[in-house]
Structure 1
Amino acid sequence: MKSLLFVSDAWHPQVNGVVRTLEYTARELENRGIRVEYLTPNGFTTIPCPTYPEIRLALTTRGRVGQRIKDFDCDHIHIATEGPLGLLAAKVARKEKRSFTTSYHTRFPEYVAARVPLPKTPFYAWFRRFHNSASGCMVATDELETSLRDRKFQNLMRWSRGVDTDIFKPYEGSVLPADLPRPIFMNVGRVSVEKNISAFLDLDLPGSKVVVGDGPQLETLKRDYPDVHFTGSKTGEDLARHYASADAFVFPSRTDTFGLVLLEALACGVPVAAYPVMGPVDVIGDSGAGILSDDLREAALAALDIPRDVCRATALNQSWAVCTEQFLQNAATADAAHRQNGSVV
């Protein structure tokens, strides 16, 4: 493969797991001499995504998307999201009998269910048709693969996640206010209802609670939890220094497919407390770098006893170079299957 097109409805200025995964993978691909192009909402008229306004949905046509794909002239197409651009790009690829892969980043049916009382089955049927039309669907964890296979998703391939251990590492000192009582329990990520942050903030814990991030639930949580320290969004080394200032990282989400923040916290030497669900089960496993329990308070308190060097060592086993090699092997396998079958499955 000499060139690759990433198609994603999620893109800057938003920063989330999808965007960061594509950026880190692109960096590794370019280091291997592979040209990377992006088809994103940039350059299109957009509207805000309902309940997730940070994502701008492109208003366009299959013809315009097809022309963009033709202009990019890439060897392989990878579709990261199931939004307007992803759907149109898949239609173009199918019409032109081109091989393409997808990735399942977001448990959208669960996200919807967290907001409104709608059944998940119709959403899964729609997602299944979309991903099964590709030559391969990449997933990050064993738990996710099992879940999707049980729902009749096909051509599933493993594509794990990594962490930049040059930026996310232990730092001396703290960037948090000196008057915050220790221990400090921290959560990092998008501040929204599906992240279940209130389950963390409701815990009876000693010391202080810190929430790093922005999102639609931020003002509500600020009002409801005046004793919690909210920092707003952080990036780069500033974000890493915030992680490193914590004594334990509390991850209350039950809907994430992976949770890059888990690896980032571990890389900074911070132990994790989480529910034993998809994402934490795969990242923490039996590494000893975190505590998984249905009693999140118990997990948070027990995590304080985990040595920070154990956490760092666990993260060092996860590199973007290894993840990118997985991606390339998946793309090659999908393209070979497409050529053999004469069309996408």
Structure 2
Amino acid sequence: MTRITIVTDAWYPQVNGVVRSIENTNRELDRMGVEVMMVTPQDFASVPCPTYPEIRLSIATYGRVAAAIEATQPTAVHIATEGPLGLLARRWCLKKHVPFSTSYHTRFPEYVAARFPVPLRWLHAFVRWFHNAGNGCMVATASLERELSKLGIKNLLRWSRGIDQTVFHPMELDERPFNLPRPIFLTVGRVAVEKNLPAFLDIDLPGSKVVVGDGPARADLQKRYPNVLFTGMKTGDELAHAYAQADVFVFPSKTDTFGNTILEALASGVPVAAYPVTGPIDIIEEGSGAGALNEDLREACLAALKCSRENARKLARNFTWEAASKQFLNNVMIAQGQRPMLKGPSTGARPSTA
């Protein structure tokens, strides 16, 4: 039996794209008969991350992480993040001559540089050093693959994302959702500096603006934008209902590597407005009628308002967790020096090396 040990610094109770991607992939791998073992911050003491206390940084020794990995008896190791656990897992793999894969989920250099006075070139050198030690670095999109290739990161493999369309789907529209006048321009995600929310909150739009999510910037933004509804974090049926009531989903981030929330909105039948950057340009196909991309976010919002809800839903059907998880498993096998195990439908991106 294939037994994959995934080491990640991002795990519950965090709610973000990294956690959701691993969670959904693990579910599909289990259905395929693949055993997945996890090494996460839940196994160790932790401290709050400076400037972002919602994220906990594990306090772990090499010996404890090594013992945790060895206890899982893996046939393959995947390191999902560049944090404390990821660094120690990398060290263990190199010391034991165990081939491993990694994934590039977030723009780590840009996120750190936004909070601390660290030169971006040093951070780029760090991620190059971290990922090039492995036998394959998984990325979600073609545009991100091109970016990282230019930075000197090698052995790039495509791992797209999916959407659970039994959870996120169109619903009957409320006449006055959130007790606000339509049209509803909604965004969902961490309320943090890297999400570029003021770019959305500053623009003049008809109707109402809604922000779903929580994070370190929420208190400040609520004071600055008293006419915007901040709902806090929503999950499950409440989150699905919130998406389905929007007229346009606004994605103002310029730093995400994919944008799982874009898929959730599309599956809910909501057109998307975003900048033409990595993530949105890989999902919102030109001519799809499912959304609008523009360097002027206001123009994108107004154009998306004219897009078809059915076109949004149609585009979302191209992305499934089953297909994305087959990509992940094949990539793990490639990193082990083995042939890919499975063939499956495209998720909008094919496994590749660059």
TM-score, with normalisation over the residues of structure 2? Answer: 0.93
Output the CA distance in 2 between the equivalents of 1:173 and 1:247: 10
1:91 matches 2:91: yes
Counterpart-to-counterpart distance in 2, 1:281 and 1:264: 16
The alignment partner of 1:13 has SS state of: coil
Q: Is this contact kept in 2: 1:79–1:86, CA < 8 A?
A: yes
2:89 is matched by which residue type in structure 1? A
8 Å Cα contact 2:176-2:182 kept in structure 1: no
Distance 1:146 1:176 in 2: 44
Structure-1 residue corresponding to 2:121: 121
Partner of 1:189: 189
Aligned to 1:298: 299
User: Among the aligned pairs, what percent are the same residue?
Assistant: 57
Query: 8 Å contact 1:291–1:303 — kept in the other structure?
Result: yes
* Matched-pair contact (CA < 8 Å) for 1:212–1:233: yes
After superposition, give the CA deviation of every residue in 1:300-329 in whole Å (9 maximum; x if it has no partner).
011011110100010011000010111111
CA contact (8 A) 2:289 2:308 kept: no
Name the aligned partner's letter for residue 241 of structure 2.
R
CA contact 1:176–1:242 (8 Å) conserved in 2: no
CA positional deviation for 1:91: 0.5
Find out whether 1:321 has 2:318 as its counterpart.
Answer: no
Q: Distance in 1 between matches of 2:151 and 2:2?
A: 34
Spell out the pairing of 1:256-335 with structure 2 (5 A cutoff): 256-286=256-286, 287-335=288-336
Partner of 1:108: 108
1: CA distance between counterparts of 2:165 and 2:13?
Answer: 23
Task: Tell me, in whole angstroms, the C-alpha distance in 2 between the residues paired with 1:187 and 1:194.
Answer: 14
1:72 is matched with 72
Residue of structure 2 in register with 1:54 after alignment:
54
CA distances 1:145-185 after superposition (whole Å, capped 9, x unpaired): 10010011011000011111110101113497553011000
What is the distance in 2 between the residues matched to 1:152 and 1:313?
A: 36
- Looking at structure 2, the residues matched to 31 and 84 of structure 1 have their Cα atoms a distance apart, in angstroms, of 30
Deviation at 1:331, TM superposition (A): 1.0
**2:349 aligned residue:** none
- Specify the code of the residue in structure 2 equivalent to 1:58: S
**Cα deviations across residues 229-272 of structure 1 (Å, max 9, x unaligned)?**
11100111211110001000011101000010000000000000
User: Would you say the 8 A contact 1:135–1:337 is kept in 2?
Assistant: no
| Structure 2 alignment gaps of length 5 or more | 340-354
CA RMSD of aligned residues (A): 1.5
Q: Relative to structure 1, is the Cα distance of residues 116 and 64 closer, same or farther in structure 2, using a 3 angstrom cutoff?
A: closer
SS at match of 1:146: helix
Kindly state the Cα deviation for residue 51 of structure 1 after the two structures are TM-superposed.
Answer: 2.2
TM-superposition CA deviations, 1:171-207 (whole Å, max 9, x none): 1134975530110000100000110001100010010
SS at 1:313 equivalent: helix
| SS across alignment from 1:56 | strand
Distance 1:272 1:204 in 2: 17
CA shift for structure 1 position 115: 3.2
8 Å Cα contact 1:195-1:255 kept in structure 2: yes
**Distance (Å, rounded) in 1 between the aligned partners of 2:126 and 2:175:** 45
Deviation >6 Å, runs of 4+ = none
Whether the 8 Å contact between 2:192 and 2:216 is mirrored in structure 1 is yes
SS at match of 1:336: coil
Distance 2:175 2:105 in 1: 31
Whether 1:30 and 2:38 are equivalent positions in the alignment is: no
Tell me the TM-score normalized by structure 1.
0.95
C-alpha contact (below 8 Å) 2:177/2:245 kept by paired residues: no
Report how far residue 118 of structure 1 moved.
3.7
Q: Deviations over 1:9-36 (max 9, x none)?
A: 0111111000000000000000011111
Distance 1:110 1:299 in 2: 25
User: SS at the partner of 1:250?
Assistant: strand
Residue 116 of structure 1 and its aligned partner are, at CA, apart by 4.3
| CA positional deviation for 1:113 | 3.0
Which structure 1 residue ranges, 5 or more long, are not aligned? 339-345
1:342 maps to which residue? Answer: none
> What code does the residue aligned with 1:172 have?
E
Deviations 1:46-100 (A, max 9, x none): 1111222222111111111111111111211111100010000110011111111
Number of aligned positions between the proteins: 338
Displacement of 1:2 in angstroms is 1.7
Offset of 1:138 from its aligned partner?
0.3
CA distance, structure 1, for counterparts of residue 114 and residue 184 of structure 2: 28
